[in-house]
A and B are shown apart, each in its own frame.
Chain A
């Protein structure tokens, strides 16, 4: 067994520097690497390019990095929940590349799987396709999209073992599995880290080969963005 365990988030962050490109898992506030984001704030790492589906909310998730102006460029699909993001974008303080959600996921997966580019119908005929190669297959038009190139991928899982194997829970899975192994180095933070051999190999969602460093997060707030409930009858 190749041991991927590191004891602290500080140890996991070795080599993360200003100006790097980071991929961060999560959809909205669901399944985000909370402890790693807190560490990025604490270490005041700046001038970052962040690839993440959303930009958090004003006071949680990647919104914390936006507040401190640590992000230079954001690559996302939907940013509607963050007023500070919208302000920085409309004033031009923040560079933003908005791309279709499926394309975002596939550009991660392509990087993970060693595929340099692929064709998707998403965005054909829109401003997303401007400057990109388009091609017809079986009578339909497609846009060529390229794999991402990130220095670090930072993902969050429910359970993990010292071999780096990961199991996700519910919809907190989202972008985390496709970002694992999509950066030069992948850091996984997990709610529960167990010894290799404890998890059933049949139940592993992401094999440890895609993860270089794994640590157990100190605490998880797991904030709910839109609490919707129904009445008991």
Chain B
């Protein structure tokens, strides 16, 4: 069975480590906040200017002056802080944020990522994504393996305008966990019940497959 979006978030949450400062993009990445293992301490940075983001507020307690980068109303946790946009991106470019998790339209086998523009059709803008991917040491992409037309989003070379060059380290989709290595994309894990062949036919890029590929464990 391919993973649900929640399951993709759960699998990515396993990548979090105690003491990490993490930036979560819009979409599936936002869901990762719901599955942080209880035994570790992780602080979430939202690039509009908050560290220590908490859950959504209870109804009636929403504050228009307190939102995340997805413009959703949020709360803060003990130890939280607010700051301006220049300082926020100082944290990001200065590599003080340990892990960036974001969505993508395309990822190439060298780690290039495209997620901000479809020429002539859709232009939302890059927001903070270009700053994040140009600076973060550890970037995980959370996305669906294929697009709505059934075409692979993991390509030999991106076709859309790039957001960043050779920067993605790991990809988690509904089908697989993959690592970007200097030699190409290595298949690490497959979704429960999904065959390696299924993953290969769903992926335009060449996959490096070494030995038995284990199934993911999702709790």
Q: Measuring CB to CB, which residues of chain A are less than 8 angstroms from any residue of chain B?
A: 27-31, 53, 76-81, 86, 89-90, 96, 98-106, 108-109, 120-128, 158, 168-178, 205, 222-232
Are A127 and B161 neighbours in the complex by a CB distance under 8 Å?
yes
Is residue B124 contacting chain A, with contact meaning CB distance below 8 A? yes
Are B162 and A125 neighbours in the complex by a CB distance under 8 Å?
yes
Are A105 and B57 neighbours in the complex by a CB distance under 8 Å?
no
The 6 closest A-B pairs by CB, nearest first: A102-B89, A80-B124, A102-B131, A125-B165, A105-B85, A100-B130
Are B56 and A30 neighbours in the complex by a CB distance under 8 Å?
no
CA distance A28 to B49 in the complex (A): 12
Other-chain residue from A79, A104, A128 in contact with B123 (beta carbon distance below 8 A) = A79
Are B67 and A229 neighbours in the complex by a CB distance under 8 Å?
no
Are B64 and A175 neighbours in the complex by a CB distance under 8 Å?
no
Complex: chain B residue closest to A98, CB-CB: B125
Q: Which residues of chain A are within 8 angstroms of B127 by Cβ–Cβ distance?
A: 77-78, 100-101
| B206 vs chain A, min Cβ distance (A) | 22
Are B67 and A225 neighbours in the complex by a CB distance under 8 Å?
yes
Q: Which residues of chain A are within 8 angstroms of B162 by Cβ–Cβ distance?
A: 125-127
Are A123 and B84 neighbours in the complex by a CB distance under 8 Å?
no
Complex: chain A residue closest to B60, CB-CB: A229
B46-64 vs A: 1/0 string, CB under 8 Å? 1111100001111111111
Q: Which residues of chain B are within 8 angstroms of A172 by Cβ–Cβ distance?
A: 64-65
CA distance A171 to B55 in the complex (A): 15
CA distance A30 to B122 in the complex (A): 24
Q: A102-B93, A126-B162 are in contact. Are A227 and B73 (CB under 8 A)?
A: yes
Q: A105-B89, A224-B73, A226-B72 are in contact. Are A171 and B50 (CB under 8 A)?
A: yes
Are A30 and B67 neighbours in the complex by a CB distance under 8 Å?
yes
Are A105 and B86 neighbours in the complex by a CB distance under 8 Å?
yes
Is residue B92 contacting chain A, with contact meaning CB distance below 8 A? yes
Are B64 and A173 neighbours in the complex by a CB distance under 8 Å?
no
Are A230 and B56 neighbours in the complex by a CB distance under 8 Å?
yes
Q: Measuring CB to CB, which residues of chain B are less than 8 angstroms from any residue of chain A?
A: 46-50, 55-74, 82-86, 88-89, 92-93, 116, 120-131, 134-135, 161-165
Are A30 and B65 neighbours in the complex by a CB distance under 8 Å?
yes
| A15 vs chain B, min Cβ distance (A) | 26
Are B85 and A78 neighbours in the complex by a CB distance under 8 Å?
no
Are A30 and B48 neighbours in the complex by a CB distance under 8 Å?
yes
Complex: chain B residue closest to A125, CB-CB: B165
Kindly list 6 other residue pairs between chains A and B, CB separation below 8 angstroms, not including A78-B125, A101-B126, A171-B82: A30-B71, A106-B89, A108-B85, A122-B130, A158-B65, A226-B70
Q: A28-B71, A226-B70, A229-B58 are in contact. Are A173 and B49 (CB under 8 A)?
A: yes
Other-chain residue from B70, B128, B131 in contact with A120 (beta carbon distance below 8 A) = B131
Q: Which residues of chain B are within 8 angstroms of A175 by Cβ–Cβ distance?
A: 84-85
Q: Which residues of chain A are within 8 angstroms of B64 by Cβ–Cβ distance?
A: 29-30, 172, 222-224
Q: A78-B125, A101-B127, A102-B89 are in contact. Are A169 and B164 (CB under 8 A)?
A: no
Q: Which residues of chain B are within 8 angstroms of A224 by Cβ–Cβ distance?
A: 62, 64, 67, 73
Are A125 and B65 neighbours in the complex by a CB distance under 8 Å?
no
Are B49 and A174 neighbours in the complex by a CB distance under 8 Å?
yes
CA distance A90 to B69 in the complex (A): 25
| A115 vs chain B, min Cβ distance (A) | 12
| B3 vs chain A, min Cβ distance (A) | 23
| A145 vs chain B, min Cβ distance (A) | 11
Q: A105-B85, A171-B67, A178-B86 are in contact. Are A125 and B164 (CB under 8 A)?
A: yes
| B160 vs chain A, min Cβ distance (A) | 11
Listed by A's residue number, 24 A-B pairs whose Cβ atoms lie within 8 Å are A27-B67, A30-B48, A53-B85, A77-B126, A79-B125, A98-B116, A98-B125, A100-B129, A102-B93, A108-B86, A123-B134, A128-B130, A170-B50, A170-B63, A173-B82, A173-B84, A175-B84, A177-B84, A223-B64, A228-B56, A229-B59, A230-B58, A231-B59, A232-B59
